[in-house]
Amino acid sequence: MKIGILTSGGDCPGLNAVIRGAVLKGIAVHGHEFVGFLDGWRGVVEGDTIDIPRTMVRGIAKQGGTILGTSRTNPFENNGGPEVIKANMDRLGIDALIAIGGEGTLAAAKRLTDAGLKIVGVPKTVDNDLDATDYTFGFDTAVEIATEAIDRLRTTGESHHRCMIAEVMGRHVGWIALHAGMASGAHAILIPEQKASMKQIAEWVVSARDRGRAPLVVVAEGFVPDDQETPHSERGLDTFGRPRLGGISERLAPELEAMTGIETRATVLGHIQRGGVPTAFDRVLATRLGMAAIDSVVEERWGTMVSLNGTDIVHVGFDAALGNLKTVPQSRYDEAAVLFG
């Protein structure tokens, strides 16, 4: 069998480990052949591929990014669609696709599967917001990067007796903010799932200052203060027509400084959270998911994705992963909030 692999959407640490896991098991156990589609769905629509022999995946599990490149191409636009993709697959002799990506990628994969293409999915997002999987690879690395950065902000904040605000990724959910904030001992964690007033945030900051601490606030980019209706956005729209988020920390900083009298600085971590080498946890999880994706192909589980359930890798339908975000439960936030102020 000849299998095509693509990585689509935002990159994250662990993508190469998925590719390696799939290729090694596919070749060693089943004798499959592999090709990679370049730059996500763009390569699928245009038939732009490279061969992936076993030698090509040597040592790539520790590399960040993706050796195949990625893009946010919509496979149903730009002269795409199931007929075009099916024709490309037939011409190239490709029997099935493994699509590695987030909700947008998997939603496109579902539509194409419904149209008769043979596709299995591997979930990917640093935000850890995909339903039907306990964790996604890339999340642990993003948390580790954010935690290290926040630890560094804490030392400079303490030196100057400043309040430091660290802004992390999290458009719809606050998993990175929650984990990195708890790990770094933040005095306030602000996430999209929880409204908070500037008065409440200021109280947490002042409480930390009054105890002799340099206040530390961790905020997700999608956090919405209770006097706003939508997340802070001043950078236009992305390719899917969604507001480009980022900068809420820079709006909060002067307001907090005015309310508390504490010199306040904001730092936006941005894409640094998606770069660099994956953690050991993410390398192992990504490798296991890649190997399990080959099982999905062999068993013809079209229209499904592999996911982590506890410590087990399972197969679930695309429907189970799409439409519902995995948000931070109230109990998890309440647990962290005990440490605020």
Q: Please state, in angstroms and rounded to a whole number, the distance separating the CA atoms of residues 35 and 21.
A: 14
Instruction: For residue 116, give every residue at least 6 positions away whose Cβ sits within 8 Å of its Cβ, in sequence order, or none.
Output: 82, 86
Neighbours of 69 (CB within 10 A): 19
Instruction: For residue 179, give every residue at least 6 positions away whose Cβ sits within 8 Å of its Cβ, in sequence order, or none.
Output: 143, 147
Q: What is the DSSP string of 251-277?
A: HHHHHHHHHH---EEEEE-GGGGG-SP
Q: Which amino acid is at 242?
A: R
Tokens for 198, please give them: 């500037």
Tokens for 91, please give them: 């011409």
Which of 194, 267, 256, 266 lies closest to 224, judged by CA? 194
| Catalytic site positions | 127
Q: Please state, in angstroms and rounded to a whole number, the distance separating the CA atoms of residues 157 and 94.
A: 55
Cβ contact 102:6 at 8 Å? no
Tokens for 247, please give them: 């900068």
SS3 23: helix
Instruction: For residue 288, give every residue at least 6 positions away whose Cβ sits within 8 Å of its Cβ, in sequence order, or none.
Output: 21, 313
SS3 280: helix
Cβ contact 266:67 at 8 Å? no
SS3 338: coil
